[in-house]
Amino acid sequence: MGYNTKIGTDIELAATFLSENDIVAIPTETVYGLAANALNELAVSKVFAAKKRPLYNPLIVHIKGIDEIEKYALEVPDLAYKLFEAFAPGPLTVILPKKDIVPDITTAGKQNVALRIPNHPLSLALLELLDFPLAAPSANPFGYISPTCADHVYKQLGDKIPYILDGGPCQNGLESTVIGFKGTEPFLHRLGALGIDEIKKIIPNIQFETHDNTAPLSPGMLKQHYSPNTKLIISNEINKILSENFGKKIGIISLSKEYPIESQNLVILSQNADLNEAAQKLYAALHYMDALNLDLILTEPMPNIGIGMAMNDRLERAASKFNQ
Ligand code: TXA
Ligand code: MG
């Protein structure tokens, strides 16, 4: 589309673009978002177009504080408030019945709106300058790996947007945890940066929503998503795969282990096997590997605890298009 994309920290410039119904990439603590005025159909349609995102996939609406929830949500269960009070601003998204002020395109025709208060100083300051909330999906082409720094956004969507607000590398590095309600019954739509153990402090018996690819309630639950272009295999037997594929160009993403390959083809996510550090670096490792023109990317399954559960969820979806 031919924008001469600028990258910077000017929230007033970002606010000007957004007020003119243009789209701007914004930093959050999870991943970068591709933001537009959530209340304006034209602005939101540009987000879908730039991402090539199917119109059935609703967007998260980012607000500046808890006192804004009822501007956009019709009914708010007590538990929703408890969650926001415990974790906002932070990597939590809650799906609630929407008010008419939120246009159908933002929620993909659903009667529910997903609300989140992002925990990033630049984006919170930007929201303070605006008199509308920001609809923002992750700032990647549909199905590809989410961006965790301004450079990832620039490489993927560079000419399609006028401005990237650069807030540095994302602190958490995985998308927000999404919680919805069936009546007053809460359930988990999407694992994410807010660990299940944290949520259980508020909702001890939280239920998982199961995958359904035919009618995705929350298309972040689509089986194939978050994928690199290079074939990705998750395995506990990386050394065996290495010897079976001698001569191929192979990259490895490991939690903390060394492997006998060229050092530029190995990313160790955390020397101390710290899962939070590993989660923060995971998408950057996938972006890096995908740019190396390898035949194969190998990764270990992560310990299935805490944030490791969300990492495994993303890795499985990223690998799933290569499993058939
Ligand atoms: O951390 C995040 O959540 C990032 C940052 C930018 O805030 N955003 C993000 O957006 O990951 P996106 O569009 O990539 O994923 C949003 C997820 C999708 O699975 C979408 O289907 C679901 O939330 N979602 C949004 N609105 C919904 C709604 N009204 N009902 C059900 N699911 C919804
Ligand atoms: Mg996304």
Average pLDDT over residues 294-301: 98
Tell me, rounded to whole angstroms, the distance of Cα 80 from its chain centroid: 21
From 51, 64, 93, give the residue whose CB has the most ligand 1 atoms within 8 Å, as the site to mutate. Answer: 93
Mark whether 190 and 149 lie in a shared domain: yes
CATH number reported for the structural domain that contains residue 46 in this entry: 3.90.870.10
Minimal CA–CA distance to 192: which of 206, 45, 235?
Answer: 206
Residue nearest to atom 20 of ligand 1 (CA): 218
Mark whether 204 and 236 lie in a shared domain: no
Mark whether 156 and 298 lie in a shared domain: no
Mark whether 19 and 66 lie in a shared domain: yes
Lowest mean pLDDT: which of 57-66, 178-187, 216-225, 230-239? 216-225
Q: Is the CB of 47 under 6 A from ligand 1?
A: no
Of ligand 1's listed atoms, the one at least distance from the Cα of 108 is: 29
Provide the percentage of residues in the chain whose pLDDT is more than 70.
95
CA pair distance 208, 273, nearest whole angstrom = 27
Q: Is the CB of 230 under 6 A from ligand 1?
A: no
| Rounded alpha-carbon distances, angstroms, from residue 257 to 84, 246, 253, 318 | 38, 20, 9, 21
Task: Provide the pLDDT for residue 211.
Answer: 54
Q: What are the pLDDT digits (tens) for 121-159?
A: 999 999 999 999 999 999 999 999 999 999 999 999 989
Q: Is the CB of 31 under 6 A from ligand 1?
A: yes
CA pair distance 145, 132, nearest whole angstrom = 28
Q: Is residue 221 a part of any domain in this protein?
A: no
CATH number reported for the structural domain that contains residue 315 in this entry: 3.40.50.11030
Does residue 95 contact residue 72 with C-beta atoms inside 8 Å? no
Its pTM stands at: 0.95
Of ligand 1's listed atoms, the one at least distance from the Cα of 93 is: 3
Mark whether 89 and 172 lie in a shared domain: yes
What is the Cβ-side half-sphere exposure of residue 211, based on CA atoms within 13 angstroms? 11
Ligand 1 geometric centre to CA of 293 (Å): 30
Q: Is residue 196 a part of any domain in this protein?
A: yes
- The label of the residue with tokens 């639950």 reads 221
| Rounded alpha-carbon distances, angstroms, from residue 155 to 123, 135, 191, 244, 297 | 21, 22, 27, 34, 20
Task: Provide the pLDDT for residue 183.
Answer: 85
Domain count within the chain: 2
Q: Is residue 213 a part of any domain in this protein?
A: no
CA pair distance 233, 296, nearest whole angstrom = 8
Q: Is residue 50 a part of any domain in this protein?
A: yes
Average pLDDT over residues 46-61: 96
CA pair distance 253, 239, nearest whole angstrom = 13
Task: Provide the pLDDT for residue 324.
Answer: 61
Q: Is the CB of 110 under 6 A from ligand 1?
A: yes
Mark whether 69 and 112 lie in a shared domain: yes
Mark whether 181 and 39 lie in a shared domain: yes
Ligand 2 geometric centre to CA of 137 (Å): 6
Domain region containing 186? 6-208
Task: Note residues around ion ligand 2 (Cβ under 5 angstroms).
Answer: 138
Mark whether 50 and 101 lie in a shared domain: yes
From 63, 175, 182, 222, give the residue whose CB has the most ligand 1 atoms within 8 Å, as the site to mutate. Answer: 175
Q: Is the CB of 26 under 6 A from ligand 1?
A: no
- pLDDT category at 322 given cuts 50, 70, 90 is confident
Ligand 1 geometric centre to CA of 58 (Å): 7
Q: Is the CB of 139 under 6 A from ligand 1?
A: no
DSSP notation for 38-76: TT-HHHHHHHHHHHT--TTS--EEE-S-GGGHHHHBS--
Q: Which ligand is nearest to the CA of 167?
A: 1
Q: Is residue 218 a part of any domain in this protein?
A: no
Average pLDDT over residues 46-64: 97
Minimal CA–CA distance to 209: which of 249, 171, 178?
Answer: 178
Q: What are the pLDDT digits (tens) for 66-93?
A: 999 999 999 999 999 999 999 999 999 9
Task: Provide the pLDDT for residue 225.
Answer: 79
CA pair distance 255, 267, nearest whole angstrom = 8
Mark whether 179 and 294 lie in a shared domain: no
Mark whether 94 and 142 lie in a shared domain: yes
CA pair distance 251, 232, nearest whole angstrom = 9
Residue 120 DSSP symbol:
-
Beta-bridge mates of residue 181: 186
- pLDDT category at 216 given cuts 50, 70, 90 is very low
Average pLDDT over residues 153-175: 97
Lowest mean pLDDT: which of 106-110, 245-249, 285-289, 319-323? 319-323
Question: Does pLDDT of 201 surpass 80?
Answer: yes
Q: Is the CB of 116 under 6 A from ligand 1?
A: yes
Does residue 143 contact residue 126 with C-beta atoms inside 8 Å? no
Mark whether 243 and 94 lie in a shared domain: no
Instruction: Report the phi/psi class of residue 62: left, alpha or beta, with left for phi > 0 and alpha for psi in -120 to 50.
Output: beta
